[in-house]
Amino acid sequence: MSYVITSSCIDVLDKSCMDVCPVDCIYEGARKLYIHPDECIDCGACEAVCPMSAIVYETSVKPEEERHIEDNGNFFSCVLPGREEPLGVVGGSLEIGPVGVDTPLVSSAP
């Protein structure tokens, strides 16, 4: 289990969550941030500082936002537009910086 960033983050990208994450597991797409489910240590530091209340624990995601649980994982396990391979386990967002693309779900959001 891990924390998930939901649709409230789309086109906001406040990034205060990135500043407090002790393991650097929050990655930047073009329109939204994503938490790596295998790197997250479930500390909750990110949830407390999110001004949009976009970050919630996976088991507490509202039904209308559940699609973001799978989509959050897809950001790391699927080939994103313009990339040749999935991100996989990176070991910290500082290693790669902004990814600059999103999953199809987020890219197609109004």
> Quick check: is 107 in a domain?
no
> Quick check: is 69 in a domain?
yes
pLDDT at site 10: 97
Backbone phi, then psi, for 57, in 5-degree steps? -70, 145
Provide the residue range defining the domain that includes 58: 3-95
User: CA-based angle 81:85:86, to the nearest 5?
Assistant: 85
User: Does residue 103 contact residue 71 with C-beta atoms inside 8 Å?
Assistant: yes
pLDDT at site 31: 97
Query: Which tokens is 107 given?
Result: 């890219």
Q: What is the pLDDT along the chain (110 residues), one digit of tens a residue?
A: 789 999 999 999 999 999 999 999 999 999 999 999 999 999 999 999 999 999 999 999 999 999 999 999 999 999 999 899 999 998 899 989 999 999 999 999 99
pLDDT at site 75: 97
Closest Cα partner for 74 from 98, 102, 99, 46? 102
pLDDT at site 95: 86
Domain count, the chain: 1
- Domain harbouring 72, CATH code: 3.30.70.20
pTM, to two decimals? 0.94
pLDDT at site 109: 94
